[in-house]
């Protein structure tokens, strides 16, 4: 073929290179979801808040864990682990969402985390063009993702006495105290659950919570009853976390839902941990407490309609406001309401 101007050696090298590229592409097609997931977590963890990282861990948990000798219920993201990235069609995601439609909030969050992960894969040179087009972003998939509906679960004034009675019957004193503190302080669930003893200043009656919005955290006052509950836990604590859990990877209680659900079934009411935060704001109206002060304590900036300019109140003023609110709550519990 030399007389045609073709160099056989060069042609052979081209053929070998093409073959290597073909083999490389074929090997890429065998990459599984789980092969990349943990690489993604490691790469993105520095950019996430601790709670966000923990969400990724919890929603991808499943199977047998030899280190803890435990078998975990397969969570939504774990159910995708054995799929190759090249197999993740729209039909796969539709079936996946159908399997998890009994827990809409969890499946919606799992979908959002998975979508972010796959977007990252599409932008990574090692994994780009592996995911089938119109898969996780297909309209029929999006239509199956549960919508985030605004909730309005909240404790009413007449619920307070029976609710406190049932809460104090729980076998876990830590969860009892967590639920009561949630109602009185208005803190978000994870702000309280991640609280450490070093965050609490019993001398000056304050606690620093890890605010969802403000990176430097938020200082809140300790009321008399809340302080007594924390001191009760401190007597027997052997952990840096106030609401510690030896079984949790993060070191503190993660899921207080089961206990709260049992109470709600007994009382025939609907209430989530975040519903306690809503209750804080609603019950404060009954107690005629200053809305701006309570908003600052709970980490909600007040509406401009309420306060034209956001007033940052000193801690002693917040202490007085929250103590007044706590006293009102406890008065309703002591008196009972017909």
Pick out the chain residues at pLDDT < 50: 17-24, 305, 308, 337-338
Per the structure block, which two tokens stand in for 136? 């996780």
Spell out where 153-310 has E strands: 200-201, 206-209, 218-221
pLDDT tens, 268-312?
Answer: 998 887 888 888 888 988 888 877 777 788 776 655 545 545 566
pLDDT tens, 235-271?
Answer: 999 999 999 998 887 899 988 888 888 999 999 998 8
SS3 of residue 70 by DSSP: strand
SS3 of residue 218 by DSSP: strand
Say which CATH topology domain 157-335 has.
hpI Integrase; Chain A (1.10.443)
Domain boundaries in the chain? 29-142, 157-335
SS3 of residue 65 by DSSP: strand
CA pair distance 125, 262, nearest whole angstrom = 49
Per the structure block, which two tokens stand in for 160? 């307070």
Cα-Cα end-to-end distance for the chain: 103
**Number of other residues whose CB lies within 10 A of the CB of residue 249:** 14
Q: What is the pTM of this model?
A: 0.66
């Amino acid at each position: 073929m030399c007389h045609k101007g073709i160099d056989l050696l060069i042609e052979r090298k081209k053929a070998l290179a093409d073959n290597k590229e073909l083999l490389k592409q074929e090997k890429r097609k065998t990459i599984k979801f789980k092969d990349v997931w943990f690489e993604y977590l490691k790469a993105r963890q520095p950019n996430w808040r601790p709670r966000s990282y923990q969400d990724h861990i919890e929603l991808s948990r499943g199977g047998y864990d030899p280190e803890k000798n435990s078998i975990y219920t397969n969570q939504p993201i774990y159910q995708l682990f054995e799929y190759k990235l090249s197999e993740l069609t729209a039909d796969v995601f539709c079936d996946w969402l159908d399997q998890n439609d009994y827990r809409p909030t969890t499946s919606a969050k799992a979908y959002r985390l998975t979508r972010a992960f796959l977007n990252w894969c599409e932008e990574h040179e090692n994994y780009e063009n592996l995911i089938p087009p119109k898969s996780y972003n297909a309209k029929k998939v999006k239509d199956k993702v549960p919508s985030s509906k605004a909730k309005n679960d909240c404790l009413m004034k007449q619920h307070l006495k029976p609710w406190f009675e049932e809460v104090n019957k729980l076998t876990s004193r830590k969860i009892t105290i967590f639920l009561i503190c949630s109602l009185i302080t208005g803190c978000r669930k994870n702000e309280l659950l991640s609280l450490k003893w070093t965050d609490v200043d019993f001398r000056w009656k304050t606690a620093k919570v890890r605010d969802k919005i403000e990176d430097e955290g938020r200082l809140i006052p300790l009321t008399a009853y809340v302080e007594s509950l924390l001191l009760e836990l401190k007597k027997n604590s052997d952990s840096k976390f106030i609401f510690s859990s030896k079984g949790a990877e993060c070191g503190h209680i993660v899921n207080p839902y089961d206990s709260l659900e049992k109470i709600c079934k007994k009382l025939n009411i609907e209430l989530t941990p975040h519903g306690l935060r809503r209750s804080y704001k609603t019950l404060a109206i009954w107690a005629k407490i200053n809305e701006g002060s309570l908003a600052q304590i709970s980490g909600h900036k007040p509406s401009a309609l309420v306060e034209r300019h956001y007033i940052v109140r000193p801690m002693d003023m917040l202490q007085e406001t929250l103590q007044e609110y706590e006293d009102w709550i406890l008065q309703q519990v002591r008196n009972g309401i017909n």
